[in-house]
Amino acid sequence: MLEPYLYFNGCCAEALAFYTEALGATVEFQMRYSESPQPIPGTPDGWDDKLMHATLQIAGQRVMAADAANASDFGGFALSVSLEDEAAVKHTFDALSQGAEIIMPVCETFWSKAFGMLKDRFGVSWMVTLAPPE
């Protein structure tokens, strides 16, 4: 099993709320730094309310996330979501587009009738595609 782990620089709770609304994600677990049973070395001052760890379900897959002071740009990868109908692709893409950089608007390609790419307002790259027929 391979599970992506996203590190945010202080805005993880905001990102999870956004993904819950935009993608219908479900937050399964979250723990703040203040809830840790032992101090976490290197935790910046004022981060007690930031998320030390969270898990959420997006399209039936688990994604983990946390706030990390050394978080950097989300370069070099993208999360891909395959959906069952064009309306869902367009709806999901539009929802993720709030404050996003559109890389490729939803359009027909040789591999999919509906495919789009964007970098969301948190810097995470997404590919939203119509799943191939079975």
- The domain ranges of the chain are 5-67, 79-130
Question: pTM for this one?
Answer: 0.90
Name the band, by pLDDT with cuts 50, 70 and 90, for residue 71.
confident
Per-residue model confidence (pLDDT) at position 85: 94
Q: What residue has token string 């999919």?
A: 112
Asked whether the beta carbons of 62 and 28 are under 8 A apart, the reply is yes
Confidence of residue 132 (pLDDT cuts 50, 70, 90): confident
What is the third-level CATH fold of 5-67? Answer: 2,3-Dihydroxybiphenyl 1,2-Dioxygenase; domain 1 (3.10.180)
pLDDT in tens, 86-127: 999 999 999 999 999 999 999 999 999 999 999 999 999 999
Residue 67 near residue 49 (C-beta atoms within 8 A): no
CA distances from 6 to 65, 84, 107, 108 (A): 5, 25, 28, 29
Give the Cβ contact number of residue 101 at 10 Å.
Answer: 12
8 and 15 Cβ atoms separated by less than 8 Å = yes
**Residue 72: pLDDT band by 50, 70, 90 thresholds?**
confident
Tell which CATH classification among 3.40.50.2300, 3.30.720.110, 3.30.70.3270, 3.40.50.300 matches the domain 79-130: 3.30.720.110
Q: How confident is the model at residue 40 (pLDDT cuts 50, 70, 90)?
A: confident
Amino acid at position 48, single letter: D
In angstroms, what CA-CA distances link 21 with 36, 39, 61?
27, 32, 16
Confidence of residue 76 (pLDDT cuts 50, 70, 90): confident
Radius of gyration (C-alpha) of the chain in whole angstroms: 16
Residue 80 backbone dihedrals phi, psi, to 5 degrees = -115, 130
